[in-house]
Structure 1
Amino acid sequence: MTGSAAETLTESEEADTEAAPRSGAQLVVEAILAQGVDTVFGYPGGAIMPVYDALPGSGLRHILCRHEQGAAFAAAAYGRMTRKAGVCLATSGPGATNLVTGIADAYMDSVPMIAITGQVAQPVMGTDAFQEVDTFGITMPIVKHSYIVRDAADIPGVFAEAFEVAESGRPGPVLIDLPKDVQQAMAKAATSPAREAQVIELDDDGLRRAEAAIRDADKPLFYLGGGITRAGATGDVRALVERSGIPAVCTLHGNGVLPTDHPQLLGMIGMHGARAANLAVQECDLLINIGGRFDDRATGKLDTFAPHAKVIHFDCDASEISKLRHADVSVHGAMRPAVRSLNPEPGDISAWVQLGIARREEFAPRYDAPGEGVYAPTLLRELSLAAGDRFVAVPDVGQHQMWVAQHCHFSRPEAHLTSGGLGSMGFSLPTAIGAQLAEPDSTVVSISGDGGIMMNIQELATLRRYGIPLKVIVLNNSRLGMVRQWQELFFDGNFSEIDLSDNPDFAKVAEAFGIEAFTVSRRSEVAAGIDRLLAAEGPIFMHVIIDPAENVWPLVAPGKSNSEMMEGGR
């Protein structure tokens, strides 16, 4: 037989193999692999067991998290780092409901993710069967789209469409609910018609109007939001800011779009924003919002936010434009071509630029706190500088989250993974695991408080099992710190249920999981602790004791204008 004939036979055999019936579970695994996914996160159970039966030998790496919420956070971390949908698996009933917080977190922060849940077999759906819940209905408000697969032959088409929906436009999570009988059924993949790529035309009129508004402004200001990162437009926005010469502020999720030490960046705005940044917003006459949604934690009292400014709003989601703040000029559509096409030519804004720089220097944070105890802002700043450009901070939620945002140095937005919209405690450890697996060469640091670490502490077992070289820091003030601060300031010091002084010795807990651990309790130990943390080749845990009375400053009280910043301490 000639070589060409042999090749023809091989191609024919391959075609026959492709056409052969396969189980729905096998089609699921093949559909995931077809999207270029190499890693999934999950936890098995009865209704998803056929998919788990198809995993061995498939080439798909499965990371067994120790709680489904951890799997959802870890999968979303893949989406946050790569802008490609991360994948998590869970069984029906409690497995699916345990995913809900992670799905909601991804939805609030516009993170692409595919959540795959097992479901009871179709003949018993609706009968309150064992571990049956209406996963489709429960998650409907917190997903971009949902599917219940009724026919195994539809699996390849459903999965291809689900990934496209999750990753396109404004990204978000998509749910695929798989009845067990569909996973077990034998089927040939149905032929799905190719979906036409959505073409979004450039908003030339909006761009020209934006350019005119910039020319007319005396005090223009860029407002940089998390949508920039989701659109992969960081480099384009940096180039735009730099060629314009216009100063900039950022939101919590906009941290890192400009490097923290960028000469045009005045800092983060909002409830715990920098004074120079908040004052600039209050005094500007043109606010150029790129990828921000005017979140309440960023704006403070909305009707006093940027009171003298016209607004230009760039966003891929038309529903966000003028939703909270009227946009005098809107530029709707794909962000990268729009930003590249904007040609800003401001007038003489030198006095405005110098005012921002002077304020940034005047109100710069101080790191000379008195006493011998560990001052968390100083530790975090020194850690980020020592780690360099491969540093990735993954805070949990609370006081330490704001200290990370205020004091760490970020070279890129992916260096700051934070739960912004939902504010989910328990976020840090599993998210950091997903981030470290997505970027093995980065120095990923999970930074939790003593409250947040307890919510997903079981994922230390995941670290140990896979030898993931994650750095874990717990800042322990034996309190629910942010709740305590609010009770001190706004509830007359009536401290209610914030005492965590019965915490375990976290270093010993980590050691019990088989992870190297140590405790730092004095300022003189910080430098050596950071060196030890960064030098570790495997997972390592640094337990840090801090002052229970320390507060986050500045602070804009709820219902107040960003111009009314409270200061305290030093």
Structure 2
Amino acid sequence: MKASDLFVHQLLEEGVEYIFGLPGEENLDFLDSIRKAKIKLFITRHEQAAAFMAATYGRLTGKAGVCFSTLGPGATNMVTGVAHAQLIGAPLIAITGQKALVNNWQAKFQAVDIVSLMKPITKQSVSIIDPNNIPTIVRESFKIAEDERPGAVHVELPEDVASSKANAPTQKRGFIRRPSPDHRAIGAAAELINKATHPLIILSSGANRKRITKHLQDFINKTQIYVVHTQMGKGVIGDDCPYSLFATGIHKRDYVNCGIDLADLIITIGYNPLSGKISTKSLF
């Protein structure tokens, strides 16, 4: 079996239905393998759009969205969309082409170390050197992308690896349940909430998960606790919610901070006060 066919067969094992991207010389074998598979291909005008589309698919479904590009400038064009997926916690697999590992007749033409470039903005960035490792690498990539906290994974498929022969079997996708919360921790949290006079919820990007909105809306309606969104937490609860105080964080001391100042308990959902350069002092 051709290695690119094995790659696409493993994508099918992962349940991939759609792929977004832009063709190039270095991913023609991959494109030909997709053509023969039951995967719908969306050709975009720019690689950045492909990454944004895959990130949106991942955020809305919880399944990793898949995008692809050729090497060099095609791969660098995807960087913004890949970083977006990583920032919002959207599972995404970015596949890029690369020059041949052996007998590269074009030397350094458009050769960029995309694996190193992607490492700071992904959960993992890896290049496939042995075609028989394709099932293992692809299976691991989807697992990492979809595990908490979801994010982006980059896989590089060099041109000569894609066109080579492989004899490895595909790997079955396992069934993994979400971890159960600690019951004693839930009890302690409930005690704090019941004792609070002016509790307040802060929602951030980590709350953008499947099934959270419905359960959270029920919790808010029952407790009548007001909600503040960070900029990255928009969309978890709609602005038409009667207990929404909208977003904070654009200005250091906006009106929402009045509610934060009065709160005697802050319930953070999907919010990390230590992320980036934002301190709790600048937010509160």
TM-score (norm 2): 0.88
Aligned to 2:161: 182
> Can you list the C-alpha shifts for 1:264-313, whole angstroms capped at 9, x where unaligned?
222222225995533101221110001123489997x742644xxxxxxx
Q: How many residues align?
A: 283
The answer (yes or no) to whether the contact 1:219–1:286 under 8 Å persists in 2 is yes
The answer (yes or no) to whether the contact 1:267–1:274 under 8 Å persists in 2 is no
Aligned to 1:129: 108
- The 3 A distance-change label for structure 1 pair 153 and 272 is same
User: C-alpha distance in 2, partners of 1:84/1:209?
Assistant: 33
Give the C-alpha shift of residue 201 in structure 1: 4.5
Aligned to 2:230: 251
- The 3 A distance-change label for structure 1 pair 137 and 304 is closer
Q: Secondary structure at the match of 1:87?
A: strand
User: C-alpha distance in 2, partners of 1:108/1:178?
Assistant: 24
The answer (yes or no) to whether the contact 2:203–2:228 under 8 Å persists in 1 is yes
Q: Secondary structure at the match of 1:249?
A: strand
| Same amino acid, percent of matched pairs | 36
Query: In the alignment, is residue 46 of structure 1 matched against residue 48 of structure 2?
Result: no
> Can you list the C-alpha shifts for 1:547-566, whole angstroms capped at 9, x where unaligned?
xxxxxxxxxxxxxxxxxxxx
The answer (yes or no) to whether the contact 1:103–1:143 under 8 Å persists in 2 is yes
Query: In the alignment, is residue 271 of structure 1 matched against residue 250 of structure 2?
Result: yes
Give the C-alpha shift of residue 169 in structure 1: 0.7
Aligned to 1:303: 281
- The 3 A distance-change label for structure 1 pair 278 and 146 is same
| Match 1:114 to one of 72, 93, 111 | 93
User: C-alpha distance in 1, partners of 2:140/2:275?
Assistant: 33
User: C-alpha distance in 1, partners of 2:236/2:119?
Assistant: 32
Query: In the alignment, is residue 70 of structure 1 matched against residue 49 of structure 2?
Result: yes
Aligned to 1:158: 137
Spell out the pairing of 1:135-534 with structure 2 (5 A cutoff): 135-190=114-169, 197=176, 200-271=179-250, 277-294=256-273, 302-303=280-281, 305-306=283-284
Shifted more, 93-102 versus 134-143: the winner is 93-102
Q: Which one-letter code corresponds to 1:263 in the other structure? A: P
> Can you list the C-alpha shifts for 1:144-188, whole angstroms capped at 9, x where unaligned?
112211222222222122112111211101011111121111222
User: C-alpha distance in 1, partners of 2:223/2:246?
Assistant: 18
Spell out the pairing of 1:539-558 with structure 2 (5 A cutoff): none
The answer (yes or no) to whether the contact 2:228–2:256 under 8 Å persists in 1 is yes
Aligned to 2:82: 103
The answer (yes or no) to whether the contact 1:270–1:278 under 8 Å persists in 2 is no
User: C-alpha distance in 2, partners of 1:56/1:197?
Assistant: 30
User: C-alpha distance in 1, partners of 2:200/2:119?
Assistant: 37
Q: Secondary structure at the match of 1:131?
A: coil
User: C-alpha distance in 1, partners of 2:276/2:127?
Assistant: 36
Q: Which one-letter code corresponds to 1:282 in the other structure? A: D
Give the C-alpha shift of residue 261 in structure 1: 2.1
Higher relative contact order (CA 8 A, sep 6+): 2
User: C-alpha distance in 2, partners of 1:274/1:260?
Assistant: 21
User: C-alpha distance in 1, partners of 2:258/2:209?
Assistant: 27
Q: Which one-letter code corresponds to 2:117 in the other structure? A: I
TM-score (norm 1): 0.46
The answer (yes or no) to whether the contact 1:269–1:298 under 8 Å persists in 2 is no
Structure 1, gaps ≥5 residues long: 1-21, 307-570
User: C-alpha distance in 2, partners of 1:193/1:55?
Assistant: 19
Q: Which has the larger radius of gyration?
A: 1
The answer (yes or no) to whether the contact 2:93–2:152 under 8 Å persists in 1 is yes
Q: Secondary structure at the match of 1:162?
A: helix
User: C-alpha distance in 1, partners of 2:282/2:75?
Assistant: 42
> Can you list the C-alpha shifts for 1:467-494, whole angstroms capped at 9, x where unaligned?
xxxxxxxxxxxxxxxxxxxxxxxxxxxx
The answer (yes or no) to whether the contact 2:26–2:70 under 8 Å persists in 1 is yes
Aligned to 1:23: 2
User: C-alpha distance in 1, partners of 2:55/2:283?
Assistant: 32
> Can you list the C-alpha shifts for 1:173-208, whole angstroms capped at 9, x where unaligned?
101111112111122224659879477352233222
- The 3 A distance-change label for structure 1 pair 210 and 57 is same
User: C-alpha distance in 1, partners of 2:150/2:203?
Assistant: 18
